[in-house]
Amino acid sequence: MAAVMGVASRLGSAQVRWNDYVGTAAADDADALLNTRSLYEIAGLDRDRWRIVGIDFSTGFPAEQVVVYALDCASEASTSAAVDALSVTAFDLGASVQLDQFLREAFGRISVRLLSAAVNGNQIDVVAEHSRPAGD
């Protein structure tokens, strides 16, 4: 999950204690939706100074957490375009932001696909589909 504020770390794949399922996620930014705040407004970041490059969120123990990673545009201008790593700042949105409200407001749609770690790396072909009746 997210790094503790003030501690340098490298961002990588999402991790949980046992990693029983691994996968990918994608989201549509909700900037175009009426009557919603932008991701920058939710995080309290100035668009002219910061460029959001990553978002981390989790549920469960110990608590829900949302962290936004942003690049300081002033420091970006002073670095070469041929860098291997970007230095970013982690903004932990803390308890002031409820995860479900954040997700509804920040994104128009979120898609998560998880596969059992036991079959990760295998091609999976769906050959049949079954739908559960409503109310089950």
Rounded CA-CA distance 118/77 in Å is 44
pLDDT in tens, 30-48: 766 667 788 999 999 999 9
Q: What is the DSSP letter of 60?
A: S
pLDDT, residue 5, reads 47
pLDDT in tens, 102-130: 998 888 889 999 999 999 889 999 999 99
pTM, two decimals, is 0.78
Beta-carbon count within 10 A of 68 CB: 27
Q: Name the residue among 89, 63, 86, 90 with its Cα closest to residue 76.
A: 86
* Spans of all domains in the chain: 38-119
Q: Name the residue among 76, 54, 73 with its Cα closest to residue 2.
A: 54
| Residue appearing with tokens 């399922």 | 21
Rounded CA-CA distance 75/49 in Å is 10
Q: How far is CA 26 from the centre of its chain?
A: 9
pLDDT in tens, 13-25: 888 888 899 988 9
